[in-house]
Amino acid sequence: MERILANDIGERHAGKSVLVSGWVSDIRDLGGLKFLILKDRSGTIQITMPKKEMTKEIMETAEQITKESVISAEGKVQGAKQAPRGVEIIPEKLQLISKAQAPIPLDLSGKIKSDLSVRLDYRFLDLRNPKSLAIFKIRSKMFKLITDFYDSQGFTAIQTPKITSAGVESGAELFPVVYFDKEAFLSQSPQIYKQMMVCAGFERVYEIAPVFRAEKSHTTRHLTEFTGVDFEMGFIRGENDVMDVIEGMCRYILEGLKKECAPEFEMFGVNPTIPKKIPRIEMSEIKKILAEKYGKKIPEDEDLDAEGEEFVGKYIKEKYNEEFVFVTAYPWKKRPFYHMRPEGKADLTKSFDLIWNGVEIATGAQREHRYEILKQQAKEKGVDLDAMKSYADIFKYGAPPHGGVGLGLDRMVEQLLKLDNVREAILLPRDPERLTP
């Protein structure tokens, strides 16, 4: 008999025999009745055993079953108002495929809250909790919607090397790797390659891939390995063209998720606001707002800290009833050498951050495509552009005006579901302490 998934069983199957397989999430013994709740990737189904009607073999097998054991059951479906989904299976065959040791290290019912570090140690068990699993169903849909959106906008998917000879961000953020007799590092950004492919003639490229940062941060939002969502586009008129694409992507993702993940959203009690028009506010104006409204003073050349971002999110919700905001015109001192400066404003850059629900999820900018200016900007930042031949060459043979962004998929999921820690949004997170499982 062909196996059927739990959520596919309904009243139409009444009186018919079905085969189900999965894990036992709960066991209840009420004297004359024994119940098993079986769960699979789709949901749960109740297996009901009236003891007087069961064979000796079935009841002996049932007595051996522990929570989280893997079983297979074959039997007839019947309606049952008291059952979780209005139907139950009366087993004619019951097989214990793999017995789980007892007790299990985690409470998967959600009644007892386990520490996140323990959940991550036993991640394969933690993900059997429907709420934990729902995070990754949503994440999977988000991934697909992102690729669908970029494809609809004429972007080409690329896959760039994750072992590189150098980086374009802070050298302190690089992980060295053993690479024969050469010096090599794990990629901290696909920036070089995105710009290279724009100049190669693709014009519009995107990549969703791992990014590595050797930062010893111990916050709820930083990791040493995360999933970057990066795109780069050529022949732009300015950084607003880049923000327009990001705004369209955010709208497309949320519209799609609200249609496809309504049950999962309900589990988390979230109802995200689809942006009508994401506000775009210069950093200098944001700092004035924070000082006047919240008493939060940030020095002229400094970036927003976590508290500042939180206040920004609160202000945008109150003022515009939006969850997103672009903070633009970042100080030159806080941005990398390849960000373009506005004409006559050497202290600023044509760059932005995207903040969602009070947390920064993206950084983008128009890039400097003019070789001589780029070389001078690199020098100001203490970078020898000529020593980065592979990067410098990109701009010597015809580079169009271009710009792009790097988003964090993990933070996007975190902010969407308002999770307490970004590690909850990653199957197997990596940070300065965690290298297993």
In the chain, CATH 3.30.930.10 sits at 125-425
Tell me the C-alpha to C-alpha distance, in Å, between residue 3 and each of 21, 393, 400, 416.
7, 58, 56, 35
Encode the chain (437 residues) as per-residue pLDDT tens digits. 999 999 999 988 999 999 999 999 999 999 899 999 999 999 999 999 999 999 999 999 999 999 999 999 999 999 998 888 899 999 999 999 999 999 999 998 878 889 999 999 999 999 999 999 999 999 999 999 999 999 999 999 999 999 998 877 666 789 999 999 999 999 999 999 999 999 999 999 999 999 999 989 889 999 999 999 999 999 999 999 999 999 999 999 999 999 999 999 999 999 999 999 999 999 999 999 999 999 999 998 889 999 999 999 999 999 999 999 999 999 999 999 999 999 999 999 999 999 999 999 999 999 999 999 999 999 999 999 988 899 999 999 999 999 999 999 999 999 999 999 999 999 999 999 999 99
- Per-residue pLDDT, 170: 61
Alpha-carbon span 21 to 91, nearest angstrom: 12
Alpha-carbon span 354 to 360, nearest angstrom: 6
Classify 385 in phi/psi space as left (phi over 0), alpha (psi -120 to 50) or beta.
alpha
Classify 86 in phi/psi space as left (phi over 0), alpha (psi -120 to 50) or beta.
left
Which residues 6+ apart lie within 8 Å of 138 measured at CB? 257, 261, 264, 265, 413, 416, 417
Alpha-carbon span 416 to 148, nearest angstrom: 19
Which residues 6+ apart lie within 8 Å of 410 measured at CB? 223, 226, 227, 422, 425, 426
Which residues 6+ apart lie within 8 Å of 117 measured at CB? none
The token pair at 94 is: 């019951």
pTM of the model: 0.94
Tell me which residue of 214, 239, 235, 243 sits closest to 226, measured CA to CA: 214
Q: What is 125-425's CATH number, 3.40.50.720, 3.40.190.10, 1.25.40.10, 3.30.930.10?
A: 3.30.930.10
Alpha-carbon span 79 to 89, nearest angstrom: 9
Confirm if 231 and 206 have CB atoms less than 8 A apart. yes
CATH class of the domain comprising 6-98: mainly beta
- Per-residue pLDDT, 202: 98
Confirm if 268 and 134 have CB atoms less than 8 A apart. yes
Q: In what order do the strands lie in the sheet with 359-366?
A: 156-157, 204-212, 225-234, 402-408, 359-366, 351-356, 324-328, 280-282
In the chain, CATH 2.40.50.140 sits at 6-98
SS (H, E, C) the chain: CCECCHHHCCHHHECCEEEEEEEEEEEEECCCEEEEEEECCCCEEEEEEEHHHCCHHHHHHHHHCCCCCEEEEEEEEEECCCCCCCEEEEEEEEEEEECCCCCCCCCCCCCCCCCHHHHHHCHHHHCCCHHHHHHHHHHHHHHHHHHHHHHHCCCEECCCCCEECCCCCCHHHCEEEEECCEEEEECCCCHHHHHHHHHHHHCEEEEEEEEECCCCCCCCCCCCEEEEEEEEEECCCCHHHHHHHHHHHHHHHHHHHHHHCHHHHHHHCCCCCCCCCCCEEEHHHHHHHHHHHHCCCCCCCCCCCHHHHHHHHHHHHHHHCCCEEEEECCEHHHCCCCECCCCCCCCECCEEEEEECCEEEEEEEEECCCHHHHHHHHHHCCCCHHHCHHHHHHHCCCCCCEEEEEEEHHHHHHHHHCCCCHHHHCCCCECCCCCCC
What value, to the nearest 5°, has the Cα angle with vertex 68 and ends 6 and 31?
85
